[in-house]
C-alpha cells in the first residue's frame, strides 16, 4: 500500500504508517531540519530491514558523519523526502517528482493513501489570538492581507484530485472547525465532496491511543464515494503507567547539563514495549540552561504541585514580587507548569517548547529545569532511536508539531484493514 505524507514535519504520521507496513512514495516538508530528520529516520528503517543498524548507531555515537550515514543508503530511499514548500506555485513540480517515483519505485503505480495536515497555528485558539494582532496590523497596510496558511488545505485537495487515493487522513487542531466563523471548514467539506470523497470527522485524544499525553486533535478520514468504507472504531488503551514511569530510566541532569547513559534500572513495561530497546543509545537528553530566577520559580511550582497543595498549579500572581518580570497577572497566568509525575498523561506538548520551557517543568525539584528533547519526544511516543536533526530549538519545534507515532500507527493499522478488505 503506497502513501504520500504532506506537510510531513518530523515524520510522526509517517512513522506510524511505516510501522503498519505501508510503502512511502514521498514525504513533503519545507523545513530543512525536519526534512533531514525524515531522511535520517528513513536511513534507520532501511538499515533495520537490512540488519545493519550498527551503522546507524555509529552515527548516534558521533563516529561517522551524517553524509557518511547517508552514503550507506540507496539514493531512491532518501529521495522520498522532498524538501519543498507546499504551495499553489510548487504543486506542478511536486507532481512531476512524485509521478517519477511512482513509476520507478512502486510495484503498484498508484497512491492508496494520502496523510498529513497543514500547519495548525493559523487555526489554534492561542495562535489565532496572536495572529489576529499581526493580521490587523497587516490589513491596515494591505486590506486584502490574510494568513496564507489558512488556505493550505486547498493544496492538500489538489493532491487528492491528482492521485485519487482510496482513503486519506487529514489531521489538525480542533480550532479548524471554528476558524473565521467556520468558513474554512465549510470550504473544506465542499471541496472534498466535489473531488469525490465521503468523510467523517472526529475529535480524538492521543491518550486513548496509548500516548502518555492529553492531546486532542481533529482527525478527518475520507474514502472514495461508494466504497463502503468508514471512519474506524478505536478501542481506548487503558493506561498502566504514570508520567514518572515514562521518564524514570532517563538519568537526572541539571540545567544546562547532558545525560549520556541510561539509569541502571529496569524500564517500565510501556517503555520497553514502545520507546526503548536494549541496543538504543541515549541521545538528545540535554537540558537547556536557566537563569537562577527561573529555577527558583520552577522550585516553587514543583513544591506547589507535588508537595504543598497536591495537584495545584502555581499562578503567576502568587509568585513573589522579586521574581516577577511583568505586571500582567491575567494573561497566561499558568505559564509555569509542572509535568505532573503521578498521572498517566502529560498536558499537551507544544512547539512553544522551542521558545522557553516554563510550561514544561521537570517534576524533580533537585533538577529544577524544563524537560529535555528526549523527554518531550517520549511524551509524544517517539522511540529513543528517533534522532532529530538541527538545533535544540528546532528539535523542540519538530516534536511539538508532530502527530504522536503510536496514535498514527493505530490509525494506519485500521485503514490497512479496510483497504485490504480483511
Asked about 120 being catalytic, the answer comes back as yes
Task: Give the distance, in angstroms, between the CA of residue 65 and the centroid of all CA atoms in the same chain.
Answer: 26
Q: Catalytic residue among 120, 157, 306, 346, which?
A: 120
Under 8 Å CB-to-CB from 141, ≥6 apart: which residues? none
CA 64 – CA 49 distance, rounded (Å): 20
CA dihedral over 347, 352, 353, 357, signed as positive or negative? negative
Grid cell 509521478 is found at 99
Contact 377, 284 (CB under 8 A): yes
Under 8 Å CB-to-CB from 103, ≥6 apart: which residues? 109
Contact 79, 25 (CB under 8 A): no
CA 320 – CA 341 distance, rounded (Å): 25
Q: Of 326, 317, 322, nearest to 292 (Cα)?
A: 322
Contact 378, 246 (CB under 8 A): yes
Under 8 Å CB-to-CB from 237, ≥6 apart: which residues? 208, 209, 210
Under 8 Å CB-to-CB from 33, ≥6 apart: which residues? 388, 389, 390, 391, 394, 395, 398
Catalytic residues: 120
Amino acid at each position: 500500500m503506497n502513501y504520500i505524507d504532506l506537510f510531513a514535519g518530523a515524520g510522526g504520521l509517517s512513522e506510524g504508517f511505516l510501522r503498519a507496513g505501508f510503502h512511502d512514495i514521498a514525504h513533503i516538508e519545507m523545513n530543512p531540519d525536519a526534512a533531514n530528520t525524515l531522511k535520517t529516520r528513513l536511513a534507520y528503517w532501511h538499515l533495520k530491514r537490512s540488519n545493519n543498524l550498527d551503522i546507524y548507531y555509529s552515527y548516534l555515537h558521533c563516529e561517522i558523519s551524517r553524509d557518511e550515514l547517508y552514503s550507506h543508503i540507496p539514493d531512491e530511499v532518501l529521495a522520498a523526502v522532498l524538501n519543498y514548500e507546499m504551495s499553489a506555485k510548487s504543486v506542478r513540480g511536486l507532481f512531476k517528482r512524485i509521478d517519477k517515483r511512482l513509476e520507478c519505485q512502486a510495484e503498484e503505480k498508484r497512491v492508496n493513501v494520502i496523510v498529513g495536515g497543514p500547519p495548525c497555528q493559523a487555526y489554534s485558539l492561542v495562535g489565532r489570538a496572536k495572529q489576529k494582532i499581526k493580521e490587523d496590523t497587516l490589513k491596515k497596510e494591505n486590506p486584502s492581507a490574510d494568513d496564507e496558511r489558512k488556505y493550505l488545505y486547498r493544496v492538500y485537495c489538489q493532491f487528492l484530485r491528482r492521485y485519487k487515493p482510496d482513503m486519506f487522513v487529514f489531521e489538525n487542531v480542533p480550532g479548524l472547525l471554528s476558524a473565521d466563523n467556520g468558513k474554512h471548514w465549510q470550504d473544506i467539506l465542499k471541496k472534498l465532496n466535489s473531488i469525490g470523497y465521503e468523510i467523517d470527522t472526529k475529535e480524538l485524544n492521543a491518550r486513548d491511543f496509548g500516548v502518555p499525553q492529553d492531546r486532542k486533535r481533529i482527525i478527518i478520514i475520507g474514502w472514495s464515494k461508494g466504497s463502503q468504507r468508514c471512519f474506524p472504531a478505536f478501542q481506548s488503551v487503558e493506561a498502566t503507567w504514570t508520567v514518572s514511569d515514562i521518564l524514570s530510566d532517563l538519568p537526572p541532569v541539571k540545567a544546562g547539563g547532558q545525560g549520556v547513559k541510561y539509569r541502571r534500572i529496569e524500564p517500565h513495561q510501556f517503555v520497553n514495549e514502545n520507546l526503548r530497546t536494549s541496543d538504543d543509545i541515549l541521545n538528545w537528553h540535554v537540558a537547556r540552561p536557566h537563569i537562577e530566577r527561573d529555577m527558583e520559580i520552577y522550585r516553587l511550582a514543583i513544591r506547589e504541585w507535588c508537595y504543598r497543595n497536591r495537584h495545584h498549579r502555581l499562578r503567576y500572581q502568587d509568585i513573589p514580587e522579586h521574581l516577577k518580570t511583568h505586571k500582567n497577572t491575567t494573561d497566561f497566568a499558568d505559564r509555569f507548569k509542572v509535568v505532573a509525575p503521578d498521572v498517566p498523561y502529560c498536558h499537551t506538548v507544544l512547539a512553544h517548547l522551542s521558545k522557553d520551557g516554563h510550561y514544561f517543568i521537570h517534576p524533580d525539584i533537585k533538577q529544577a529545569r524544563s524537560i529535555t528533547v528526549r523527554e518531550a519526544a517520549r511524551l509524544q511516543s517517539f522511540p529513543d532511536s528517533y534522532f532529530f536533526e538541527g538545533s535544540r530549538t528546532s528539535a523542540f519545534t519538530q516534536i511539538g508539531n508532530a502527530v504522536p507515532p503510536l496514535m498514527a500507527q493505530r490509525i494506519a493499522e485500521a485503514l490497512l484493514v479496510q483497504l485490504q478488505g480483511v
